[in-house]
Amino acid sequence: MTSQERVHLALAHKAADRVPIHDSPWGTTIARWHNEGLPQEMSPHEHFGFEFHGNGGDNSLQLPVETREETDEYTITTTGDGGLRRNWKTRTSTPELIGHTVTTRGSWEEHKPRMAMNDSRVAWDAQKQVYDAAREKGLFCFMSIGPGFTKVCNLVGPEALMMAMVDDPDWVQDMLMTEAQLCADMAEEMFSRGFDFDAGWIFDDLGHRDRGFFSAAMHREFLVPAHKRICDVFKARGKWMILHCCGYKMDFMDGFLETGFDCIQPLEVKAGNDMLKLKRDYGDRLSFMGGIDARCMANPDPAAIEREIASKLPGMKQGGGYVYHSDHSVPDDVSFAQYTRVMELVHEYGTF
C-alpha cells in the first residue's frame, strides 16, 4: 500500500494496514539526530517513512528581503510582507516581531495591488521536479497555504489586527479576503500546470493555551469566509482540506466543519486540546492528525511515551480518521533513540 493510498483511506474514515505517519522535527532536532545515528545523507522523512509531501508558493507582498543586522546570536531581516524580524541562530524559536510596513488602512490600500497572482510567485521548474519525485515515491501530496489570521498578524502586527477586528472590521475582512483570493488563484494556477494535489493544507494559528485568540462568533465572521474561499477550489476538484491550527481550538470545530475542512492538526495537548473527546464528538465528520504529547517523547522514563501512545492510538484509529503526528513538532530535547522508540510504538499500536 502506498502512502497516498493509506492517507486517503484514513481521511475517508476507513481502516488501512496501519495509521499514516508524518511529523515535523525542528532543524536543531535533525542536527542532533545526525550526531546520534541518523545517517548524514538521510532526512528524518526518508528514514522514518513520513508520508506527506508539500509544495507551495509565495503569498507575500513580494517586498525586498534584506538583512539589516547580524550578530553571533541573531539576524534581523525584512520580510516579503514588509515586516522586520529577529531570528535566533542558536535555538529554534518563533521570530521576534520588531516592526511592520502596513500599519493603517491607508498603507494597506497602498500595498494591496501587490497581492495579486503573478508567475514569479511559484518556482515552477523546481517545484514541479520535487512534486514529480514525490509522486514517484507514492507520497500524499498537498499544497501548503498560509493565509488568514496568522498571515494578517504578520502583515500588520497582532495588536493592530486584534484592535481592528473590533474597531474596523471591514478593513480586516478586506485583508483576509484579498489574501485568500491570492491563495485561491495560486492554487488554480498550480492545478492547471500539472500539480494534481491530494489536498490543500492551510496553516493558520488561531489560539493559545486553553482558549482561542477570539470568540467562535468572530471566527465565523472573519476566518470562515476567507478559509472557505480557498477550500472551495479544492472541494470543487474532490480534494481534501487539512487545517494546521496551533493552540486551543475546541471552540472552533463547528466553524471548521462549515468551512469545509476534513482534518484538523496538530491538537496540542499543553494548549488544552482533548483529542479523544474530539474523536467522540466529531469523529464521524472530521479526521485528526497529531495529539501525541512531545513532552512525553523527551521524558527520560520510556514508559511515559508508551502510556501516551497506548492510551490514544487504539481509540483514535478505530474507524479510520487518524494520522499520527506529534502534538506540534519534535523539539531538540528528544534524542534519536527516543524518537526511534516513538516510531516503534506508533507501528505497534497503530496497526489494524
pLDDT in tens, 95-137: 999 999 999 999 999 999 999 999 999 999 999 999 999 999 9
Whether residue 85 sits in one domain with residue 122:
no
* Total domains, the chain: 2
The Cα–Cα gap between 75 and 95 comes to 10
Whether residue 292 sits in one domain with residue 279:
yes
Residue of 237, 232, 216 whose CA lies nearest to 177: 232
Would the pLDDT of 309 be above 90? Answer: yes
Whether residue 138 sits in one domain with residue 287:
yes
Mean pLDDT of 213-234: 98
pLDDT at 252: 97
Whether residue 166 sits in one domain with residue 58:
yes
Domain termination residue (choose one: 78, 100, 122):
100
Q: Residue 232, Cα to own-chain centre: how many angstroms?
A: 19
pLDDT at 13: 98
Whether residue 253 sits in one domain with residue 319:
yes
Phi, psi (deg, nearest 5) at residue 17: -75, -35
Whether residue 137 sits in one domain with residue 69:
no
Q: Which residues, 6 or more positions from 174, have their beta carbon under 8 angstroms from its beta carbon? A: 108, 112
CATH number of 327's domain: 3.20.20.210
The Cα–Cα gap between 291 and 2 comes to 24
Residue 169: band (very low, low, confident or very high) from pLDDT cuts 50, 70, 90: very high
pLDDT at 244: 98
SS3 content of the chain, % helix, strand, coil (to 5): 45, 15, 35
Return the amino acid letter for 312: K
Mean pLDDT of 307-315: 99
Mean pLDDT of 82-101: 91
Whether residue 126 sits in one domain with residue 96:
no
Taking phi over 0 as left and psi of -120 to 50 as alpha, with beta for the rest, 222 belongs to alpha
Contact indicator for 79, 151 with CB cutoff of 8 Å: no
Contact indicator for 143, 54 with CB cutoff of 8 Å: yes
Residue 5: band (very low, low, confident or very high) from pLDDT cuts 50, 70, 90: very high
The Cα–Cα gap between 135 and 132 comes to 5
Residue 154: band (very low, low, confident or very high) from pLDDT cuts 50, 70, 90: very high
Whether residue 173 sits in one domain with residue 129:
yes
Domain termination residue (choose one: 53, 85, 100):
100
The Cα–Cα gap between 48 and 59 comes to 31
pLDDT at 311: 98
Would the pLDDT of 259 be above 90? Answer: yes
pLDDT at 326: 99
Residue of 93, 82, 24 whose CA lies nearest to 290: 24
pLDDT at 92: 81
The Cα–Cα gap between 176 and 330 comes to 30
Task: Write out the H or E segment, with its range, that includes residue 169.
Answer: helix 169-192
Domain termination residue (choose one: 48, 77, 100):
100
Whether residue 114 sits in one domain with residue 89:
no
Whether residue 84 sits in one domain with residue 144:
no
**What would the pLDDT profile of 38-76 be if each residue is shown by its tens digit?**
999 999 999 999 999 999 999 999 999 999 999 999 999
Return the amino acid letter for 228: K
Q: Is the dihedral of CA 144, 121, 70, 159 positive or negative?
A: negative
Would the pLDDT of 346 be above 90? Answer: yes
Helix (H, G, I), strand (E, B) or coil at 138: coil
Q: At what angle do helices 158-167 and 169-192 cross, to 10 degrees?
A: 110
Phi, psi (deg, nearest 5) at residue 229: -60, -40
Whether residue 75 sits in one domain with residue 171:
no
pLDDT at 91: 80
The Cα–Cα gap between 191 and 184 comes to 11
pLDDT at 86: 96
Whether residue 71 sits in one domain with residue 13:
no
Residue 90: band (very low, low, confident or very high) from pLDDT cuts 50, 70, 90: confident
Domain span including residue 74: 64-100
Would the pLDDT of 93 be above 90? Answer: no
Would the pLDDT of 234 be above 90? Answer: yes
176 CB-contact burial (10 Å; exposed 0-12 / middle 13-18 / buried 19+): buried
